[in-house]
Structure 1
Amino acid sequence: MTAIATRLKRLHDAVFAAIERALDGWFLGLAARFVFAAVLWMYFLNSARTKVGEGFLGFFTIRDGAYYQIVLPAVDAAGGDVSRVAFLPWGLMVVMGTYGEFVLPLLVVLGLFTRIAAIGMIAFITVQTLVDVTVHQVGAETIGALFDRFPDSVIADQRLLWMFPLVYLAVKGPGAVSLDRLAAGPLLRNRGPISGGMASA
Structure 2
Amino acid sequence: MTSLIMLHDKLTGLADTIGNQLTPLLARVVFASTLLFYYWNSGLTKLGDGIFGIVSPSIGAYSQIFPKKLEAAGYDVSQFGIFEWAVVMAGTYAEFILPLLIVLGLLTRLAAVGMIGFVVVQSLTDVYGHNATDTKTLGAMFDRLPDGVILDQRLFWCFVLVILVFKGAGVLSLDTLLRKKLTARVAMA
TM-score, structure 1 as length reference: 0.85
CA deviation vs aligned residue, 1:23-78 (integer Å, no higher than 9, x gap): 43x31111111110011111111111111145655444311110000012321332
Structure 1 residue 181 corresponds to structure 2 residue 176: yes
In percent, how many aligned pairs have the same letter?
46
> RMSD over aligned Cα, in angstroms?
1.8
Structure 1 CA distance for aligned equivalents of residues 131 and 10 of structure 2: 52
1:157 corresponds to which residue? 152
- 1:16, CA displacement in angstroms? 2.0
Structure 1 residue 107 corresponds to structure 2 residue 88: no
Cα contact 2:135–2:148 (8 A) shared by 1: no
Structure 2 CA distance for aligned equivalents of residues 55 and 39 of structure 1: 29
Structure 2 CA distance for aligned equivalents of residues 99 and 178 of structure 1: 22
Cα contact 2:48–2:58 (8 A) shared by 1: yes
| CA distance 1:55–1:31, shift in 2 (3 Å) | farther
- 1:91, CA displacement in angstroms? 1.4
- Segments of structure 1 that go 5 or more residues without pairing to the other structure are 193-201
Structure 2 CA distance for aligned equivalents of residues 42 and 108 of structure 1: 13
Q: What code does the residue aligned with 1:120 have?
A: G
2:61 corresponds to which residue? 66
Pairing partner for 2:114 from 120, 128, 135: 120
- Segments of structure 2 that go 5 or more residues without pairing to the other structure are none
Structure 1 CA distance for aligned equivalents of residues 18 and 114 of structure 2: 31
Structure 2 CA distance for aligned equivalents of residues 144 and 14 of structure 1: 42
Runs of 4+ aligned structure 1 residues displaced above 4 Å come to 54-57
- 1:82, CA displacement in angstroms? 0.8
CA deviation vs aligned residue, 1:170-195 (integer Å, no higher than 9, x gap): 12211221111111122111224xxx
Bigger shift: 58-67 or 158-167? 58-67
Cα contact 2:137–2:149 (8 A) shared by 1: yes
Structure 2 CA distance for aligned equivalents of residues 10 and 18 of structure 1: 12
Structure 2 CA distance for aligned equivalents of residues 27 and 54 of structure 1: 42
1:39 corresponds to which residue? 34
Question: Alignment length, in residue pairs?
Answer: 186
| CA distance 1:99–1:148, shift in 2 (3 Å) | same
- 1:165, CA displacement in angstroms? 1.3
Matches within 5 A, 1:48-59: 48-53=43-48, 58-59=53-54
| CA distance 1:112–1:56, shift in 2 (3 Å) | farther
